[in-house]
Structure 1
């Protein structure tokens, strides 16, 4: 296959299976991105809450402001954890293990080659010889 040949001895079934594993990893990467979005939005909300508390206080509502500040500003989002701690645990645990298993499977079954399923799909779908359909960067003129 031009651009990215399948290593010798790697069956179509293995390419398909590794493609499914890669797709699962990509979904995990998207989930991780959403986790970072959760982290950032929650942090923004906490800062905005602090501003709202100050406005309540300035408007003469110190008791309400004090109650919200004491109970909610800086509060853990789950027991014992702010969002950065959730992100760190996810990264150090599930996400790292997932990446390691995907890499190990590729190393063991395909000599470490990545995206073989997609490379095969590209070769099948592109129009050979047509500009914009090159197999790889080296084929661009």
Structure 2
């Protein structure tokens, strides 16, 4: 369970210095970018799989139209083909997760735990506090509270 350094949880423990907060914010931003890249990788995986299954339909239609040579070429040259030597897309996703994503995620969590007592998003919480308009109901830290 993550802990956020904002007014909803009352005063947090003595926080890290501003540079550490900024560094952890930068580390988290980098991880968020990796999360997006990972999503694109899953999109690549799913789109490639969808295309491969659509080839079944193309092969069937080519045969139905009497183009047996073309149907055979699509079936033997492209259908089920590796996207990289020796790899299907799921293997690329698995390798990315094991080699890069999971170690990055674990390091970021460990750094937040060690340097900010597990309080995530301190940088954003600081920005939120600085950018609020006192007395405005949509800027309150909690329902009905000014901040």
TM-score by length of 1: 0.91
Runs of 4+ with deviation above 3 angstroms = 3-7
Range that drifts further, 25-34 or 125-134: 125-134
Q: Which position in structure 2 is the counterpart of 1:84?
A: 90
Q: Give the deviation of 1:3 after TM superposition.
A: 3.4
Q: Which position in structure 2 is the counterpart of 1:63?
A: 69
Q: Give the deviation of 1:61 after TM superposition.
A: 0.4
2 CA distance for matches of 1:7 and 1:30? 31
Structure 1 residue runs of 5 or longer lacking an equivalent are: none
1:2 to 7, 18, 27: 7
Aligned residues: 138
Q: Which position in structure 1 is the counterpart of 2:57?
A: 51
Structure 2 residue runs of 5 or longer lacking an equivalent are: 1-5
RMSD: 1.5
TM-score by length of 2: 0.88
Residue-by-residue CA offset, 1:16-65 (whole Å, 9 max, x unaligned):
00000000000000000000110111111111122111111110000111
- The answer as to 2:137 corresponding to 1:134 is no
